[in-house]
Amino acid sequence: MKKEMICIVCPVGCHLEIDENLKVQNNKCKRGEVYAKKEILNPTRMLTSTVRINSKHQARVSVKTTDAIPKQSMFKIMEMLDDVALEVPVNLGDVVIKNVLDTGIDIVVTMSLKA
């Protein structure tokens, strides 16, 4: 089965095709091949979201993964974030979940909020 995807490595945006033997077509350069293979074998994404906080000014504080996590774990991590409740003060970079799902990647706060 062939799979189609758009390469996002550069603005050309080639419409790639990759088959079950990982043969990539329609890529204008080598980077497209690398991209397509990674998208099939080990697609990863940065995840940004928010968690609860008891600040006077806002109900949520923003968080992110420190690196790209496996794409299929996005919803699982969203669920884990539902259970997090922080208290002010928080500082940019504070770790919310360490080594999330054993990926070696942390979830950190992306804004500082005073008490």
Q: Is 14 in the site for ligand SF4 (CB under 6 A)?
A: yes
Nearer to ligand SF4, 33 or 94 (CB): 33
Nearer to another protein, 5 or 100 (CB): 5
Applying CB under 8 A, which part among 20-28, 49-57, 96-104 lies near another protein? 49-57
Euclidean distance between CA atoms 82 and 67, whole angstroms: 20
Q: Is 29 in the site for ligand SF4 (CB under 6 A)?
A: yes
Q: State the CB neighbour count (10 A cutoff) for residue 20.
A: 9
